[in-house]
Amino acid sequence: MKYVFTVVILMIAGYFAYTSFIKKPDITEIKPYDPTEKFKNIKEPQFMKEGELEFLSKDGKTVIKKIDVEIADNDPDRSQGLMYRRSMDENRGMLFIFQHEQMESFWMKNTIMSLDIIYVNSKKEIVKIFRHTTPFSESSLASGNLTLYVVEVVAGFTDKYKITEGDMISFTKN
């Protein structure tokens, strides 16, 4: 009887050792990380129309598409950008205005939705487009050219309206 009891105890101990230290976890037991989880208690910023922007053909004469824009023309607004927005209408965007033309670089940290990021020089010519950016990415998306303006729109916008490098922008502030 004493031997049976010892064998049962060893089997139970062996089972716990196996499941705790040796057995690899079943992949279905691991809950995937949801990057939006940390933002569920953050109030989503609401769109505020502060101007209108037109995308123009390369000659600057034909309007391709007109959108309403929020304007980020100071450091706090430029730092905030479109972070924490869960969605945006395709007829809206954000226009970043810098004080001096320089090389710029954006990232997608804390940005929930995918965007098209459009870099524009002082002549209001589009010099670089990053399409379908990766939400939450901390990879640098550098302009590669001198930039005075940056326009952010929903991902797929530039493909849908066939906006390309060399096209132009025009905008008005409210």
At residue 24, the pLDDT reads 60
Higher pLDDT, 161 or 19: 161
Reported as a single tens digit per residue, the pLDDT across 30-78 is 667 677 677 777 888 899 999 999 999 999 999 999 999 999 999 999 9
Rounded to whole angstroms, how far apart are CA atoms 10 and 5?
9
Reported as a single tens digit per residue, the pLDDT across 115-171 is 999 999 999 999 999 999 999 999 999 999 999 999 999 999 999 999 999 999 999
**pLDDT tier at 21 (50, 70, 90 boundaries)?**
low
**pLDDT tier at 15 (50, 70, 90 boundaries)?**
confident
* CATH 2.60.120.1140 in the chain, residue ranges: 45-173
Q: Is 39 exposed, middle or buried (0-12, 13-18, 19+ CB in 10 A)?
A: middle
At residue 82, the pLDDT reads 95
Rounded to whole angstroms, how far apart are CA atoms 168 and 64?
10
At residue 124, the pLDDT reads 98
pTM: 0.79
Rounded to whole angstroms, how far apart are CA atoms 117 and 72?
14
Beta bridge partners of 125: 168
For the segment 89-101, the average pLDDT, to the nearest whole number, is 97
Q: Is 67 exposed, middle or buried (0-12, 13-18, 19+ CB in 10 A)?
A: buried
Side-chain half-sphere CA neighbours of 133 within 13 A: 27
Q: Smallest Cα–Cα separation from 157: which of 105, 115, 120, 127?
A: 115
pLDDT exceeds cutoff 80 at 173: yes
pLDDT exceeds cutoff 90 at 114: yes
Higher pLDDT, 4 or 141: 141
Q: Smallest Cα–Cα separation from 85: which of 67, 106, 65, 108?
A: 108
Q: What is the architecture, at CATH level 2, of domain 45-173?
A: Sandwich (2.60)
Q: Is 26 helix (H, G, I), strand (E, B) or coil?
A: coil
